[in-house]
Amino acid sequence: MIKLENISKSFGDKQVLNNISSVFEKGKTNLIIGQSGSGKTVLLKSIIGLHQIDEGNIYYDNREFSRMSEKKKKDIRKEIGMVFQGGALFDSATVEENVGFPLEMFTDMSDEEKKERVNFCLSKVNLENVNHLYPAEISGGMQKRVAIARAISLNPKYLFCDEPNSGLDPRTAIVIDQLIKELTVEFNMTTVINTHDMNSVIEIGDKILYIYKGEKWWEGTNDEILYTDNKELNDFIFASDLMRKFKKSQL
């Protein structure tokens, strides 16, 4: 479980996050949604400590994170898996080396054990026979999946994904969503996902946090979101004709 308490963050005199509080439960896929520029990435990076927050507290299972010493933060980071918006795979390393990197760095596994673990993680994301290819040699969707495999290689308690299915075709996007959802349940992780994909919202939104201009504007589940009367949220979710039709059919 991750708890945010009154998080604020500004860059210079530009306030990006304003007093955000929420709770992300274990075994659930928690979504952060909002328009481009609303502060989703900044929020995610603040939670994992890539940005230092100005005010507030962040608890990882009751351990206050933002004011920890670097050394203790490092221990928590080993429990975190992160899938970056662009994948952030190491270009000079093969798929296998990418997924095995955290194992190499932080465990004393033998080469055999590492190989087994790498193949296990790759099989979890339905990737086979790509072990020796470089990131530039595989498709964008495959890169995302490798990034997910790398993120789960150390059996993280917390999984963060920044727009895991942006830039993918709808079918692959759904596959990635389902994959993250399944892994979350299977390994009982606390998963936090940034997205502006409405499909994801409806399909895997166990909990949804809507950020509007750096503030928490609404939170709830994917069932509740259809019936919300919050104007900004409605404008955001039901911006497309398709979504409006979908809403009508559901009511």
**Is-contact 211 46, C-beta < 8 A?**
no
# residues contacting Mg ion (CB under 5 A) = 1
CB under 6 A: which stretch of 34-42, 100-108, 143-151, 229-237 binds ligand ATP?
Answer: 34-42
41, 46, 165, 191: which one contacts Mg ion (CB under 5 A)?
41
Identify which range of 22-30, 98-106, 136-144, 186-194 contacts another protein by CB under 8 A. Answer: 98-106
Task: Give bridge partners of residue 30 from the DSSP assignment.
Answer: 192, 207
Query: CB of 40: closest distance to Mg ion in angstroms?
Result: 5
48 binds another protein (CB under 8 A): yes
Min dist. Cβ of residue 83 to Mg ion (A)? 13
Strands (E), the chain: 2-11, 14-24, 29-33, 55-60, 63-64, 80-83, 158-162, 190-195, 207-212, 215-220
| Residues in contact with 14: Cβ distance below 8 Å, sequence separation at least 6, in sequence order | none
Segment contacting another protein by CB under 8 A, of 61-69, 96-104, 184-192, 194-202: 96-104
Contact residue for another protein among 85, 131, 172, 230 (CB under 8 A): 85
Interface of this chain with ligand ATP, residues 164 to 203, rule: CB under 6 A: 196
**Residue 132 neighbours by CB under 8 Å, 6+ apart:** 94, 95, 96
Q: What is the binding site for ligand ATP (CB under 6 A)?
A: 11, 16, 34, 36-42, 196
